[in-house]
A = this chain, B = another copy of it.
Amino acid sequence: MTNLELPLHTKIDGYGVLDNELVIGGRKISDIARELGPGPFFVYDSALIRQRIEHLRAHLPKGMHLHYAIKANPMPAVVDFIAPLVDGLDIASEREMHVALATDMSPQLMSFAGPGKRVSELEAAVASGITVTIESETEMKRLEAVADATGSRPRVAIRVNPDFELKTSGMKMSGGPKQFGIDAERVPGVLDQIATSKLDLVGMHIFCGSQNLNAAALVEAQYKSWELASALMKRVPHELEWFNIGGGFGIPYFPGDAPLDIAPMGAALSDIQSQLTAQSSVTELVIELGRYIVGEAGIYCCEVIDRKLSRGRVFLVADGGLHHHLAASGNFGQIIRKNYPVLIGNRVFADQAEVQSVVGPLCTPLDLLADQMEMARGNIGDLVVVFQSGAYGPTSSPVNFLSHPHPRELLV
């Protein structure tokens, strides 16, 4: 394995280089491209996913449950690969539920969160024995109606919107008014209602935010989440199966980003787990991660179909772009556009480096995969590789934009 160093980005770990070509899953990028035929594709490396999970297990306290949030990458082959390596699957829609149920994992280890679950989704989840995370009083009543109609005892969890926020997070999902979960101060009342209902409360869920690279901020949020959960769980007349403390572990995308140091999180979670065990011998501590598990294990690859010089600037025009990978174009939740790590996959180390912009085939200046980055001189037929593309790639992109072909996905 080679540590790839881009001029401005953090080291890219885990990928190999052979004949100056990027190697993923033991295969040269040009071999994969040839086999798949024309058109852009995503490749996910199962070995890197496994390594990341092992890395997590090494730092997380023993016995802590690790869940995979399918939304990060719902490709069935990826979910099938991950399912036996983790302790649970978290889903966000009925279609994700089908992907999860197609694995060998027990539905008892799956939970369904999201602020706007349709009644048909609630019914399907209950019928499958999946735990539904209640995010509002309305949802609680709907689940009671499902219980009445089916004579079942739905497994539910409660999602708490805490009264603090996760600092320095890419996406803040807690603190202040939010559509997610039930405000902490109203949770006791809801717990009382659940206690007299036909619902089987098995878990509690607090999720503060995502894509955070600041270990201290994450640790602080973990402790605050635990304190809040601890107090709230004392209001529950029985012991819960689990407390899901969220996730939010970020990955380095942009120049200046450093990888998250998970050692402090592991230490904090170990401490929290001890406190939890002291409070309840039954309740498992759960962490839910998506992007952190798959994000760095995948790349996006497209082909240079034109090389243009316009008024002193070099443009590599690729057959892929924002319609396949919106986040890499800078148009998904970013305030200021920054470059993902990008290089020429079939010429990794450059004899001749050059500042180039990689654009896609779309009729919009937004279609920009690399803005004036230094990389090997790109020519027609070369393969542009965008790293950190294993999470929120094709499913987060407007794949029908300008009616171009969709990207393919491959797990190696």
Name A's B-contacting residues (CB within 8 A). 38, 71, 74, 92-96, 99, 113-120, 136, 138-139, 161, 171-173, 176-180, 183, 210, 305-308, 310-313, 315, 317-319, 321, 326, 331-333, 335, 357, 359-366, 380, 394-405
Task: Provide 10 A-B residue pairs closer than 8 Å at the C-beta atoms, listed in order of the A residue.
Answer: A71-B403, A115-B359, A116-B305, A116-B362, A138-B307, A171-B366, A177-B310, A177-B311, A183-B310, A398-B399
Shortest Cβ distance from residue A400 to the other chain B in the assembled complex, whole angstroms = 4
Residues of B close to A394: CB separation below 8 A: 400
Bound-complex Cα distance A398 to B38 (A): 23
Residue among A92, A117, A120 with most chain B CB within 10 A: A92
Residues of B close to A96: CB separation below 8 A: 402-403
Among B99, B161, B317, B357, point to the contact of A310 (Cβ < 8 A). Answer: B161
Contact call A365/B398, Cβ cutoff below 8 A:
no
Contact call A318/B116, Cβ cutoff below 8 A:
yes
Contact call B180/A363, Cβ cutoff below 8 A:
yes
Among B308, B335, B360, B398, point to the contact of A395 (Cβ < 8 A). Answer: B398
Bound-complex Cα distance A178 to B381 (A): 21
Contact call A305/B118, Cβ cutoff below 8 A:
yes
Bound-complex Cα distance A319 to B114 (A): 11
Given the interface contacts A136-B308, A139-B306, does A172 sit within 8 Å of B71 by beta carbon? no
Contact call B398/A326, Cβ cutoff below 8 A:
yes
Bound-complex Cα distance A360 to B116 (A): 7
Bound-complex Cα distance A390 to B331 (A): 21
Residues of B close to A397: CB separation below 8 A: 398
Contact call B362/A92, Cβ cutoff below 8 A:
yes
Given the interface contacts A74-B403, A401-B395, does A361 sit within 8 Å of B115 by beta carbon? yes
Give the 10 A-B CB pairs with smallest separation, nearest first: A116-B361, A177-B313, A95-B403, A177-B311, A177-B310, A116-B317, A395-B400, A179-B359, A179-B315, A92-B402
